[in-house]
Chains A and B, each alone.
Chain A
């Protein structure tokens, strides 16, 4: 657990950070909270010649809660998200999800930008961002652009972000209605065996809209469009939940690992989603 040699950079604005990334190309990596990258460096599974620490860049911080749009800077920590009353009022699923990430020490360092940009299928925020239909702001040498969370993830650790770009913020609309982030894990600090993000709205006795996304059940987060659609227009009864679970299962492709074999994961994904839908509906 001793990393190899690296140069440490601590820029104070995004332009400088992009400059360092451009200068060193493949040799450079941006460092947010460090909870994925630093262990990889210590295991010497990641050789990073130039580490670009984003901690000292004020423009990457800040949570803005507007009437139609919420914007969260990339270097906002999970602890910041949990502590922000305005954000919790406008989109309570953010804090509910952040509280299921690791432990307080990790949440004090871990950032939303690092969590969504790394492309680790085990991370919780990417599925939530897909569930929210969030947008990711990217800045690179060519300027700024926006990519939808639902179009961002290509495969494990491979995303729409180029190596010379920084993910600077995420944004999404405030949520109404019911929500739930349900996660099964082996212990505090573990990645999900299966997790489900559910946001839905209610009109009278039936479901008016629903969005469902799953964590760690494929090599990318899975936005299960058909699963959400299966709830719309129903009273979210057992039959509707069963249909949503079936649609979700058709969209995931888990692999076997120490958390269990594929059949188990399919089963647990269904159970976890069932619990999440029931909880979200009870809050709608």
Chain B
């Protein structure tokens, strides 16, 4: 007779599976400074690379004189486009179907562009050699404004595309035009707008910013000339895709390339793309036969690697007089910089921007996006959001506020009036998405109740009166946001990157003693995958999470996957993990039945064991089953206990949330203070509430930065004005307020465990909440809209424009 203790609840608790606030296993090494990042990798004989970068935003490169640099002791090589051209590597394909210069080929197109690559015996010599390289430039006219770039007589930026009227995404109507992407019903939208009782119009700019991860980008490339194998350790958010791309570009067979993403210090989309530093390091290692390290500094990261946003969104929204929305139109002018290097699925040149109808039941909508070249750095990545979703969320949440002003309605009421109702899911949006599940009204009511919305509005109105009487110089803003994300790219039928379907994978091996290793196609950059994926698996296979190793990032050992960005790890790889776990359990069931001498159908799963139906005292634990898998000769069954799953999601997932920000604003100085920030997230099934809370704190802090000051600003001749952390706003603990987190739980109906993903929701949802708070503070004085970022002087400018300083 088996022992019946511990109890079922005790056994569940021991697993630390779904729903447990399990401590992050990664933090032991991270908090002790024992992580292993790219720059920690040291190899015998390793050389160091450094770039000569363009000080100009647009110039012809007349000559590059390497002589003095090559004469410096310790300098091994200096590469220019001329050296790379015979290999066909002076240009490289981008993820968006464009191509990008690896090293300046005749001209430079943005400040900070890579011109020459120095390889030297140490980092100092490399930097000295950079100074010795003489580059002669000839100025060309600079365009940093996407609207001016489309004027007929605008300078031609991409001479390599001269005469090409077809691009990767269709017709190009101007020499600086990249694509036009259109969705929805133009005629129906125009009809609805023209017949509407009320139409609100606004141009909403989401300024250019940058993911700015704590660790910058870098790699160590090592070509082993004996066995012909190239190994590259790098800051890659998608190591398997990098391997395939590297093989296609270099001609090296894919089995001879090994890509390893070691610990990564944050990515936020910045580390999805391929950068010239990687190509140059690989070429340099092939040429020299020794490993070559390249790690960029902070200024290089901000000035040359992938930026985010830079969307000019011109919107029209119509409604009945009582606030029922009837149509939405949006035209985006998208500044992509010098090369189209967005990291979007191939069929979505503007990402999933067509989620811009948001949380609302809008009967008809129309969207066009024009991509434009300018003399700015390339990029357009999803900075802690799914592809262009944060732009979409900001757009619709601003348009709702603008419409509320036009209608004279409370913005919370206007939202509630137009939410997609719970009974409408799965909901088909006017711009083509099928929302999986949601319960917006419940979340919204909970949020308004939690912050005491009605009394906040009363206090705000009283403050306005006090201000008018001259008793205070501070106003109160109440920033509302109800966002719907679209994450988990994605179904292979419509989502691919460079032809690679956006499935993901998990491979599990159960060891004889009842512990396990699981490998995934994703790669954590701080999200805590080693913690949470073990929890998913613990609940699926009944082994404690503490006994499960999670490994990612080495293409020689991990199954193929598309990596980690767009909150896709849990929706896609998390699903693969659950499905692989279920395969393990299916085989375990047969083993258990054999050991218990009953038919397969006569045993049932119970937390961590199979029991005989109707006789729970007869059972075999997973630990016992694991040993049996390697010990017993079971008729009809192969030895061992392993499984692999490649998961192609049937749909995206649609997390949502309700965020509210209460802000005090000093009218004279523009100084703001966050009095309250409430974040309710519904990410479906919650795997680890503590990690969710941490993700929300981090994402809201990034949103705070973006909304309140963070920008990549350029002057009119293309100089980056915010190229250091003195000017590029990263909040410290001092500027970061307390956050209140809350949740509702509406599982995804199509995901194996109902999880939707959460990492990016707080960035998507908080930016509109912060911005709406600023704008709402001035609503009583006739203010409608002002562009972000809302730093002190721009807030002051709103007040100045309203005559509040008189």
Rounded to whole Å, the gap between the CB of A239 and the closest CB of chain B is: 15
User: With A1-B299, A2-B123, A2-B127 in contact, do A260 and B735 touch (Cβ < 8 Å)?
Assistant: no
B668 in contact (CB, < 8 A) = yes
Residues B281-301 near A (CB distance < 8 A):
297-299
Within 8 Å of chain A (Cβ to Cβ): is B671?
yes
Nearest chain-B residue to A191 (Cβ)? Answer: B726
Q: Are B709 and A186 in contact, CB atoms less than 8 angstroms apart? A: yes
Near A by CB (< 8 A), chain B positions 207-231 give none
Which chain A residues (257-284) contact chain B, with CB distance < 8 Å? 258-261, 263-264, 267-268, 271-272
Per-residue A-contact encoding for B108-146, CB less than 8 Å = 1, 0 else: 000000000000000110111001000000000000000
B792-A187 in contact (CB<8A): no
Q: How far is the CB of B208 from the nearest CB of chain A, in Å?
A: 14
Distance A1 CA – B723 CA, assembled complex (angstroms): 13
Interface bits B539-579 vs A (CB < 8 Å: 1, else 0): 00000000000000000000000000000000000000000
Residues of A with C-beta under 8 A to B65: none
**Is A205 located at the chain interface by the 8 A CB criterion?**
no
In the complex, which residues 1-54 of chain A have their Cβ closer than 8 Å to any Cβ of chain B? 1-2, 4-5, 44
Bound CA–CA A261/B709 (angstroms): 15
Q: How far is the CB of A42 from chain B (nearest CB, A)?
A: 9
Whether the pair B731, A184 counts as a contact (CB closer than 8 A) is no
Residues B729 and A187 in contact, CB atoms below 8 Å apart: yes
B127, A188: Cβ atoms closer than 8 Å: no
**B55 smallest CB distance to A (angstroms):** 13
Q: Tell whether, in the assembled complex, residue B732 and residue A187 are in contact, meaning their CB atoms are under 8 Å apart.
A: yes
A259: chain B residues at CB < 8 Å are 792-793
**B205 surroundings in chain A (CB, below 8 A):** none
Tell me if B722 counts as interface (CB < 8 A to partner A). Answer: yes
Check if B353 is an interface residue, CB within 8 A of chain A: no
* Contact assessment for A1 and B792 in the assembled complex, using a CB-CB cutoff below 8 Å: no
Residues of chain B within 8 A of A190, CB atoms compared: 726
Residue B194 lies at the interface, judged by CB distance under 8 Å to chain A: no
Contacts of A193 in B (CB 8 A): 792-793
Q: Is the CB of B805 within 8 A of A267?
A: yes
Report the nearest A residue to B721, measured CB to CB: A258
A271 touches B668 (CB 8 A): yes
Q: Does A103 interact with chain B (Cβ within 8 Å)?
A: yes
Q: With A184-B792, A187-B729 as known contacts, state yes or no: A1 contacts B297, CB within 8 Å.
A: yes
CB-CB under 8 A from B791, the residues of chain A are 186, 260
**What chain B residues lie within 8 Å of A271 (beta carbons)?**
666, 668-669
B339 within 8 A of A: no
CB–CB A184/B669 < 8 A: yes
Task: Write out the residue numbers on chain B whose beta carbons fall within 8 Å of the beta carbon of A44.
Answer: 127, 131
Q: Is the CB of A260 within 8 A of B792?
A: yes
* CB of A189 within 8 Å of the partner chain: yes
In the complex, how many angstroms separate the beta carbon of A82 from the nearest chain B beta carbon? 16
Who on chain B is nearest to A264 by CB?
B793
Q: Which of B126, B713, B722, B805 has the most CB of A within 10 A?
A: B805
Q: Is the CB of A4 within 8 A of B128?
A: yes
A93–B804 Cα distance when bound, in Å, is 33
What B residues does A2 contact at CB under 8 A?
50, 123-124, 126-127
| Contact of B793 with A261 in the complex, beta carbons under 8 Å | yes
Tell me which residues across on chain A come within 8 A of B797, comparing CB atoms. 264
Given contact pairs A2-B123, A184-B671, A190-B726, A260 touches B732 in the complex (Cβ within 8 A): no
Q: How far is the CB of A125 from chain B (nearest CB, A)?
A: 19
Complex alpha-carbon distance, A187 and B430, angstroms: 43
| Shortest CB distance B474–A (Å) | 12
Closest chain-A Cβ to B731's Cβ sits at a distance in Å of: 7
Nearest neighbor of B725 in chain A, beta-carbon distance: A189
Report the interface size for chain A: residues with CB under 8 A from the other chain. 24
Instruction: State whether A103 touches B792 (Cβ < 8 A).
Output: no
Q: For B124, list chain A residues within 8 Å (CB).
A: 2, 5
Distance in angstroms between the alpha carbons of A258 and B127 in the assembled complex = 29
In the complex, A260 Cα to B793 Cα: how many Å?
5
Q: Are B669 and A187 in contact (CB under 8 A)?
A: no
**Nearest-neighbor residue (CB-CB) of B122 within chain A:** A2
Q: Which of B131, B298, B671, B722 contacts A258 (CB 8 A)?
A: B722
Q: Which residue of B lies closest to A1 (CB)?
A: B297
Instruction: Please state if B792 and A188 are interface contacts (CB–CB under 8 Å).
Output: no
Contact among A186, A187, A260 for B796, CB-based, below 8 A: A260
Which of these, A4, A189, A267, contacts B668 with CB under 8 Å?
A267
Pair A268/B732 contact, Cβ less than 8 Å: no
Complex CA–CA separation, A1 to B721 (angstroms):
18
B732 surroundings in chain A (CB, below 8 A): 103, 187-189
Identify which of A188, A191, A267, A272 gathers the most chain B CB atoms within 10 Å of its CB: A267
- Closest Cβ–Cβ distance, residue B789 to chain A (whole Å): 11
Hey, what's the 0/1 contact readout for A83-115 against B, CB within 8 Å counting as 1? 000000000000000000001000000000000
Residues of B76-133 at the interface with A, using a CB-CB cut-off of 8 Å, are: 123-124, 126-128, 131
A48 to B96, CA, bound (A): 45
Min CB–CB distance A200 → chain B (angstroms):
22
A237 to chain B, nearest CB (A): 15
Residues of chain A with a CB closer than 8 A to B727's CB:
258
**Chain A 100-146 interface residues, beta-carbon cutoff 8 Å to B:** 103
Which B642-666 residues have C-beta < 8 A from chain A?
666
Could you tell me if B298 and A188 are in contact, using CB atoms closer than 8 angstroms? no
A-contact 0/1 string along B420-463, CB 8 Å cutoff = 00000000000000000000000000000000000000000000
Q: Mark B518-543, 1 if CB is under 8 A from A, else 0.
A: 00000000000000000000000000
The residue on B at minimum CB distance from A261 is B793
* Cβ A5 vs Cβ B792 within 8 A: no
Most buried by B among A184, A187, A188, A259: A187
Given A193-B792, A268-B668, are A187 and B731 neighbors across the interface (CB < 8 Å)?
yes
Contacting residues of chain A (141-198) with chain B, CB-CB under 8 angstroms: 184, 186-191, 193
Bound-state Cα–Cα, A153 to B105, Å = 48
Closest to B730 in A: A187
Q: Shortest beta-carbon distance, A122 to chain B, in Å? A: 10
Residues of B within 8 A of A263 (CB): 800
| Distance of B435 from chain A, by nearest CB (Å) | 38
The complex places the Cα of A264 from the Cα of B670 at a distance, in Å, of 10
Which of B127, B666, B669 counts the most A-chain CB atoms under 10 A from its CB? B669
| Given A44-B131, A188-B735, A260-B796: A268 in contact with B729 (beta carbons within 8 A) | no
Which of chain B's residues has its CB closest to A271's CB? B668
Chain A neighbourhood of B722, CB < 8 A: 258
Instruction: Considering the complex, give the chain A residue whose CB is closest to the CB of B796.
Output: A264
- A47 to B: closest C-beta gap in Å: 10
Q: How far is the CA of A184 from the CA of B670 in the complex (A)?
A: 10
Bound-complex Cα distance A44 to B127 (A):
10
Q: What residue of chain B has the Cβ atom nearest to residue A44's Cβ?
A: B131
Q: Return the chain A residue nearest B805 by Cβ.
A: A267
Nearest chain B residue, comparing its CB with the CB of A265? B793
Residues of chain A within 8 A of B721, CB atoms compared:
258
Alpha-carbon gap, A271 to B722, bound state (A):
26
Since A267-B668, A268-B796 are in contact, a sample of 20 more A-B pairs with Cβ atoms closer than 8 Å, ordered by chain A residue number, is: A2-B127, A4-B128, A103-B732, A184-B792, A186-B729, A187-B732, A187-B734, A187-B735, A188-B734, A189-B732, A258-B721, A259-B792, A260-B791, A263-B800, A264-B796, A267-B800, A267-B805, A268-B670, A268-B792, A271-B669
Footprint of A on B, CB under 8 Å? Answer: 50, 123-124, 126-128, 131, 297-299, 666, 668-671, 709, 713, 721-722, 726-727, 729-732, 734-735, 791-793, 796-797, 800, 805
Question: Which A residues are closer than 8 A to B by beta carbons?
Answer: 1-2, 4-5, 44, 103, 184, 186-191, 193, 258-261, 263-264, 267-268, 271-272
Q: List 16 A-B contacts (CB under 8 A).
A: A1-B297, A2-B124, A4-B127, A5-B124, A5-B128, A186-B729, A186-B792, A187-B731, A187-B734, A189-B732, A259-B792, A260-B791, A264-B793, A267-B800, A267-B805, A268-B796
Q: Which 10 A-B pairs have the closest CB atoms?
A: A260-B793, A2-B127, A271-B668, A264-B793, A188-B734, A1-B297, A188-B732, A258-B727, A271-B669, A268-B669
